[in-house]
Amino acid sequence: MNDASPFADLARYARQVRFAPLGEEGQRRLSQGRALLCGCGALGSTIANLLVRAGVGMLRIVDRDFVELGNLQRQVLFDEADAAAALPKAIAAADKLRRINSTVTVEPVVADIGPTNVKRLCDGVDLVLDGTDNFETRFLINDAAVKFGLPWIYGGCVGAEGQSMTILPGETACLRCLMPECPQPGSTATCESAGILGPIVGAIASIEAAEAIKILSGNWQSVSRRLSIVDLWENSFRQIDVSGLRDQTDCPACKHGEYSWLSGRSVSRTAALCGRNSVQLSHLDASISLDELAEKLEGVGELTRNEFLLRLKVEGYEITVFPDARVVISGTDDITTARAVYAKYVGT
Ligand SMILES: [Zn+2]
């Protein structure tokens, strides 16, 4: 924590403290709360903005990406200068956040979250927030959060639709109770294939931030026990009661303590292809429908396909997808970059 405790300056939080369920006691607890934010793109930068302004004690921000001009439509912490400098998102976010509230400790980490570093990233935090763009990382976070007994808040959005659910390990259903298997690669829409509107990011990030404020301020009884699904284009706000789901499922993670994502057994196998400026990613026990993927990627870059493979040329990369869920990303020999390109265009 910084020398100047956030609690020393309650005046800046006057409107928030006046909100009776929070009050001074809630603000004091919030100012000691420590959170890990996984991903600082659209959802992540909006969540970080809200939580740092609200006066959390510490926010650790992990992101593997760099700011680009095409991010600015929805990633509220970044500006044109950040994009021109191609700053890592975690660094650009931390600079901006420290200017917003210098009493909050902001810890930027430029890294790809994986089985080898997730335990260290979770060290000393009270809560984990989802700002990622793929289910593979969410399943890993779920394993880690359930194993370490950390509450975590799932959130995701694409197009004009988004969803969020809060997981209190040992008490509520976890992500694997809700989705026993990680969606197959290429089976879900990504922001690249279906686009994304800024307002849905704001809606889902606000739900996540509100849940975080409840947990960090000690108001656990007010935490949502429902899966929230919002569609701002269809004008629908749905809430599905998931309070009984944990009792109804035979969840490998929260019932049997099997953490296959954390142990690395379920994580995609990645290998740089030497001398080819290419990286190969492959998923065990998975398959990809090239038809579905071709439909999804219609109009995105230069797309060619035959019965054996699908190839997309975009942003200087060539992405070749095989039906056995093997994907070769050409144009980089950096595994982190390849995983980011994969998540952006193929998705999980
Ligand atoms: Zn579970």
Q: Give 282 or 179, the one with higher predicted confidence.
A: 179
pLDDT of residue 279: 84
pLDDT tier for residue 275 given thresholds of 50, 70 and 90: low
Least confident of 100-109, 293-302, 316-325: 316-325
% of the chain at pLDDT higher than 70: 93
Tokens of residue 127, six digits: 């809560």
CA 247–ligand 1 middle distance (angstroms): 9
Length of the chain equals 348
Residue 114, token pair as written in the block: 């994986």
Distance CA 281, CA 335 (A): 9
Look at 48-62, 220-234, 283-297, 302-316 and tell me which has the smallest mean pLDDT.
Answer: 283-297
Element (H, E) at 338: helix 335-345
- Residue 300, classed as helix, strand or coil, is coil
331 vs 283, higher pLDDT: 331
Ligand 1 center to residue 255 CA distance, Å? 6
Question: Looking at residues 162-171, what average pLDDT do you find?
Answer: 96
CA 64 / ligand 1 centre spacing (Å): 28
Of the listed ranges 92-106, 184-198, 317-331, the one predicted with least confidence: 184-198
Distance 77 CA to ligand 1 centre (A): 33
pLDDT of residue 1 exceeding 50, the answer is no
What is the SS3 assignment for 170?
A: coil
Report which DSSP code applies to 344.
H
Q: Maximum distance among all alpha carbons in the chain?
A: 65
CA 73–ligand 1 middle distance (angstroms): 35
Nearest to 1 by CA among 146, 103, 128, 100: 103
Asked whether the beta carbons of 329 and 344 are under 8 A apart, the reply is no
Ligand 1 centroid to residue 141 C-alpha, Å: 12
**Centroid of ligand 1 to alpha carbon of 292 (angstroms):** 29
Residues at Cβ < 5 Å from ligand 1 ion: 174, 176-177, 251, 253-254
CA of 173 to the centre of ligand 1 (A): 5
How far is it, in rounded angstroms, from Cα 254 to Cα 246? Answer: 8
- How far is it, in rounded angstroms, from Cα 202 to Cα 232? 11
Q: Which residue has the higher pLDDT, 16 or 280?
A: 16
Distance (Å) from CA 56 to ligand 1 centroid: 28
271 band by pLDDT with thresholds 50, 70 and 90: low
Instruction: Compute the distance between CA of residue 82 and CA of residue 91 in angstroms, rounded to an integer.
Output: 10
Pairwise CA distance, residues 59 & 53, whole Å: 11
Residue 3 confidence (pLDDT) = 47
Ligand 1 centroid, distance to 78 Cα (angstroms): 36
| Strands laid side by side in the 58-63 sheet | 105-110, 58-63, 34-38, 127-130, 152-158, 161-167, 226-231, 236-241
pLDDT digits (tens, 9 = 90+) for 128-155: 999 998 898 999 999 999 999 999 999 9
Please check the confidence at residue 212 and state whether its pLDDT lies above 60. yes
The tokens 């899966």 sit on which residue?
227
User: Quick check: 8 pLDDT over 80?
Assistant: no
Tell me the CA–centroid distance for residue 43 and ligand 1, in Å: 24
8 Å CB contact between 51 and 213: yes
Residue type, 227: L
